[in-house]
Amino acid sequence: MQAAGLNTSRIGINIGAPVDESNEKSAIKIKVGIGKACADAQLSETKALIGGAEVGLSALLSFVASPGKQQELATLIDDLFNGKLQNKFSKDISQVALSGMISYSIYQTDGNRVVVQVKPGALTEDMVTQSVTGVVQGFGVEAATSAEKSELTINASAGVDFHDALEGHSTGLSTLATFGKSFKLEINATSPTDSLVEKKMWEIVSQFQPNSPLGLFKLLKTIDFDVTFRGIDELPADLQRRLKISKEMEKFPQTPKSREGSEEHLFFKQLVELMEPQIDIYATLENVVAIHASIRTPGWGKTFITVHD
């Protein structure tokens, strides 16, 4: 039911067996809160998470270490940024950090967590600050968000996990087919009627993309519907073709035997052995927006370190 003074929309896509809180095994959930109240709340939460350090213009990545492995995980992540690791992936990351494009801090916090704060480095800080200020103030975004609150949530959940996918691989079942047994995607959006934030958003879109088809969404004030398929085979043929994956990806995230022992494989193997399959990502723009992504993927690490022919 639509609340007074609010536009609410919901889209649900269900494939296979129903998913709810009682049987959810995997999930990726994203919450975007627009407005000063949302930003202030997350700023307080994330500031407390890293012991009161400043969190402005930064992103926080929160990992949960395996039991007794918090210090080892923090050291490995630090080595990833400081250039001590020699695989190509690590070199690319450290080059960005050591060049001054980004800076980082690592915190070991309660709950066996290791939190990495990433923010603009000496080379980019002034440019990023000026750009952000120009957008939020120059376009009137900050003024619009000061008295409004809107929320967007995107939740993808499954009644299976990567342990099930690994078992399926042994019988020739792809990862996609396993997750197609019980999958749910739900999108919810809430915003004030005649939202000034929404108006500003369309003004910006129109200025940079005057003929963008996104403008059609202005006509959709309220949506509420569910689409249910008994399995992947019931999806429209065109969508099935789009979802078709290469043979090399059928057993994702297993590693092909040809890559076993490579520097990248050994690094990621060490990483997944040091951490639980639980990651939270926070990004907050003061007075404007708060973004929180929560990733829970049991079995991902075990599947990754299991090689296949």
Q: Is 172 contained in some domain?
A: yes
Tell me the pLDDT band of 193, cut-offs 50, 70 and 90.
Answer: confident
Q: Is 13 contained in some domain?
A: yes
Q: Residue 284 gets which letter from DSSP?
A: E
Rounded to whole angstroms, the Cα distance separating 43 from 33 reads 12
Burial 272-306 (b: 16+ CB within 10 A, else e): bebbbbebbebbbbbbbbbbbbbebbbbbbebbbe
pLDDT tens column, 274-288: 999 999 999 998 888
On whether the CB atoms of residues 193 and 163 are closer than 8 A, the answer is: no
At 202 the pLDDT is 64
At 219 the pLDDT is 53
State how far the alpha carbon of 124 is from the alpha carbons of 46, 132, 281, in Å.
Answer: 23, 12, 22
Centre a 10 Å sphere on the Cβ of residue 60 and count the other Cβ atoms it contains: 25
Q: Is 179 contained in some domain?
A: yes
> Can you tell me the mean pLDDT for 108-137?
88
Q: How many helices (H) and strands (E) does the chain have?
A: 11, 12
Which candidate, 159, 53, 155, places its Cα nearest to that of 108? Answer: 53
Give the residue numbers spanning the domain of 147.
Answer: 6-249+269-299
At 2 the pLDDT is 42
> Can you tell me the mean pLDDT for 133-146?
74
Please determine, for residue 108, whether its predicted confidence score (pLDDT) is greater than 90.
Answer: yes
At 204 the pLDDT is 62
On whether the CB atoms of residues 32 and 152 are closer than 8 A, the answer is: yes
Rounded to whole angstroms, the Cα distance separating 57 from 124 reads 12
Tally of structural domains, the chain:
1
pLDDT tens column, 223-257: 788 888 887 777 777 766 666 665 667 888 888 88
Q: Is 260 contained in some domain?
A: no
Q: Is 304 contained in some domain?
A: no
Structure-model confidence comparison of residues 65 and 222, the more confident one:
65
Rounded to whole angstroms, the Cα distance separating 67 from 65 reads 6
Q: Which of 40-54, 66-80, 239-253 has the lowest mean pLDDT?
A: 239-253
